[in-house]
Structure 1
Amino acid sequence: MYISRSDLEKAISRAELVQLTQDDISNYNATEPDWTIVDMAIAEACELADGYLMGRYTVPLEPVPSLIGTICRTLARHWLHSRRINTAEFPKPLQAAYDNAIKLLEQIRDGKVHIGVKSLEAEKAATERWQSERGAYHVRAGVKHDWSDYP
């Protein structure tokens, strides 16, 4: 997972998390989010990010670039809101943030934005370079000495 519950709590107020996750109508005065639903939102966001990135990078990414965490928080928030709001009625800033996150994932996938992680192509090239040299010995030596006058 690229984000945690606490990461999501930093991006979304606790009151908003409670409103977006509590489905039990009888629990009207709830003060705690339904963590199962929060975990589902996190999993959905991280899987969506992996779906875009897996063609270019080995997923899950380790270490997690901060940009991916930011994108996943946006995706999780959008997923939580989509449980409550008809997508035609989405607040414009929320929809714009989601659209930008998807666009950014596409740019990362296409190699237009770099996240500081070695791509599969770079890993493959390094592996092929190593495999092509298999069996060959490479020796380093110092300066050649002339020992012809040595008794």
Structure 2
Amino acid sequence: MAYATIAAMQKRFGERELIYLSEREDAPADVINTAVIEQAITDASDMINGYLAGRYELPLVTVPNLLEQFCCDIARYKLGTNDTPEHIETRYKDAVKFLNSVAKGELSIGVNALGEDAKVQDTATIQSAGTVFSREKSKGFI
């Protein structure tokens, strides 16, 4: 199961960049080579699954938007050449760092182990030890 689509890649990086990155000798010029982009998305999704496999049941029932973003970033990095811009490499490294933390159990992707939306259980509760000042405790001052 892929965590992103060509449309998601195009929305994030633009058509012109995807045409440039997917250009191959045996393909028509000035169009997105969908086979190349789909392969990069598949490779990125497989990489993500490698990090998630120990903690989540795959395929995920609910795919968080964060995984789509990371899938696009990883696929974009893998499509790059030796002249990959620094910000693309930084986004790739950030994605891998996050996925490492998920694999270690330090962070969560926002779904439970079955891949369903996690129920938030971090509600705040306030407890009081009672009143400090009251008529009964003040003994004549009030």
Give % identity: 31
Q: 1:70 to 1:26 in 2, by over 3 A?
A: closer
Give the CA deviation at 1:31: 2.4
Q: Which aligned pairs between 1:38-53 and structure 2 lie closer than 5 A? A: 38-53=37-52
Paired letter, 2:56: Y
Q: Which aligned pairs between 1:60-139 and structure 2 lie closer than 5 A? A: 60-81=59-80, 85-86=81-82, 89-119=83-113
Q: 1:117 to 1:78 in 2, by over 3 A?
A: same
TM-score (norm 2): 0.73
Query: What is the CA–CA distance in structure 2 between the aligned matches of 1:25 and 1:116, rounded to whole Å?
Result: 42
Give the CA deviation at 1:91: 1.9
CA RMSD of aligned residues (A): 1.7
Aligned residues: 113
Q: Where in structure 1 do 4 or more consecutive aligned residues deviate above 2 Å?
A: none
Paired letter, 1:111: G
Structure 1: unaligned runs, 5 residues or longer: 121-151
Q: Deviations over 1:40-78 (max 9, x none)?
A: 011001000001110111112121011111110100100
Query: What is the CA–CA distance in structure 1 between the aligned matches of 2:26 and 2:45, rounded to whole Å?
Result: 29
Paired letter, 1:4: T
Structure 2: unaligned runs, 5 residues or longer: 115-142
Paired letter, 1:20: L
